[in-house]
Amino acid sequence: MSRKHFIWIGFAVLLLLLVAAASLWSLLAGEMKIPLASLPTIFENKSGMEYAILSNIRIPRLLLAFSIGGALSITGAILQGIYHNPLVEPYTLGISGGAALAVALVIVLGLNMSLGTLVIPAAGFTGAFITIFLVYFLALKRREININRMLLIGVMISFVASSGMMFLMSISSADNLHSIIFWTMGSLDEPNATLITVMVVSSLAGLIISMLFAQPLNALRLGEAKAKHLGINSSAVIRILFIIASLLTGLCVAVGGIIGFVGLIIPHILRSIIGSDYRILLISSFLGGSLFLIVCDIIARTIIAPNELPIGVITGMLGGSVFIFVLSRSKQKMIK
């Protein structure tokens, strides 16, 4: 085993330990602080208030932060590799805009009141899926995908969806307007065990599947033409990775709302630290995204306790500040 592989393993283990530490911090921190030494007793005595807080609030939020953060981050890494652009993120292709428009339409029509709360994540995923369908098929030209055309179409769909959102918000009641705005700012307050399970399983499955395409992604860094000379079916790889990234983004938006910056800054920062080899970048991005969103969730829950800030506010402020700091301290590395 080479020195490079030892460095990769050490870096991945370090991130894993940091995620474990942040997860433990997430369980202990909050309006009601729980001592570390009390955890075994709390889980043995399941009738106490502390156990109810852990099982109904903190553990579900922790699982969502872990899975959504990881999924958004590997999605950003994949899309940045496909488009050869470090500024591309999961929401660039209009997926979040389509999901937000569908959710806003459901809230304005009052379907969330008549059909139940699960209609909102269902609408979010449906809107995201419709956007994925439009971007993919509008980008096809002579049965070949043009990635630049796809990117432009995604941006335009995002603008159209944003205009539709503004129209719906302008005709909404005050209560509906509050619900729409709160959803668009992101939240991990989702108690439904089925949705949490689907999100965790999907994010881990997305990581495993994307790792199978690490070598093709490395080849695509050289360009589609050179990747074909290396025996890579560039068109098929781009299609599969686009579908994986889009479905993961759609699930994240459906369950947690619009949580920005995770898929942009985490892969970018990790690429400058550990390199652009996707064999380590993908798993590092997953762990780094999970770590970042867990910490942001802790801040959102505790900074103005007992009130809670939308997690999208924290990711935007903290992520943007860290991104600017990193860029000012190091040379910007563009994807080759």
Name the phi and psi angles at 101, rounded to 5.
-65, -40
Average pLDDT over residues 15-27: 94
**Per-residue pLDDT at 14:** 95
CATH class of 3-329: mainly alpha
Evaluate if pTM is beyond 0.75.
Answer: yes
In angstroms, rounded to a whole number, what is the distance separating the alpha carbons of residues 305 and 32?
10
CB atoms within 10 A of CB 41: 12
In angstroms, rounded to a whole number, what is the distance separating the alpha carbons of residues 217 and 210?
9
**Per-residue pLDDT at 141:** 67
CA trace torsion 37, 43, 48, 52 (10° rounding): 110
- Nearest Cα residue to 323 out of 275, 283, 268, 259: 268
Burial of residue 191 (CB within 10 Å: 0-12, 13-18, 19+) is: exposed
| pLDDT tens-digit map of 206-263 | 999 999 998 888 888 777 777 777 778 877 888 888 888 888 888 888 888 888 888 8
* Contacting residues for 181 by C-beta, under 8 A, at least 6 apart: 169
**Per-residue pLDDT at 334:** 44
Q: Mean pLDDT score of the chain, rounded to an integer?
A: 84
The token pair that represents 48 in the structure block? 């106490």
| pLDDT tens-digit map of 93-141 | 788 788 888 888 888 887 767 776 678 888 888 888 888 888 878 877 6
